[in-house]
Amino acid sequence: MASVADVVKTRLTHSASPEMTVLEAARIMTERNIGALPVLREGRLVGIFSERDVMTRVVAAGRSPGSTRLSEVMTPYPRTVSPEETVENCLFMMKEFGFRHLPICAGDEFVGLVSVRDLMLFDHRARPA
């Protein structure tokens, strides 16, 4: 079975700091065509900020993207998976909890971020034995 580490091993993951504004994060997400950013403090995952957070916690709440910090509107300390977790279990977890993005951590170390799209498009047959 393929692990989630197989899916993200060659991918660069962009991240944000809790002090960054929503506007700054949204620009990164738009430029990179990504739907979520892991929020890191000193290399440790402290939250995740997604398109859904922009809509529900910023726009719908009437907050200003230019002055609202990610720490105010991110999802703090999200569920994570280990790099060894199977693609199948990650898909199950995402479906069960309604996640579209799942952070990968090895202990306290942030490893990467995987999206449901990444998992659906991953070619299991291309994985070396």
Q: State pLDDT tens for residues 24-63.
A: 999 999 999 999 999 999 989 999 999 999 999 999 999 9
Token duo for residue 22:
């929503």
**Model confidence at 91: pLDDT above 90:** yes
Residue 57, in any domain of the structure: yes
Residue 119, in any domain of the structure: yes
Find the domain containing 101 and state its range. Answer: 4-123
Q: How many domains does the chain have?
A: 1
**Model confidence at 124: pLDDT above 80:** no
Rg of the chain, C-alpha, whole Å: 15
The backbone torsions φ and ψ at residue 70, rounded to the nearest 5 degrees and listed phi first, read -60, -35
Residue 14, in any domain of the structure: yes
**pLDDT band at residue 12, thresholds of 50, 70 and 90?**
confident
Residue 83, in any domain of the structure: yes
Cα gap 89→74, rounded to integer Å? 25
Residue 129, in any domain of the structure: no
Return the pLDDT at 121.
85
Residue 104, in any domain of the structure: yes
Cα gap 97→95, rounded to integer Å? 6
Cα dihedral value 84, 86, 91, 94, nearest 10? -30
Full-model pTM: 0.88
Residue 10, in any domain of the structure: yes
Cβ within 8 Å of residue 56, ≥6 positions away: none
Q: What is the CATH number of the domain that holds 92?
A: 3.10.580.10
Number of residues written out for the chain: 129
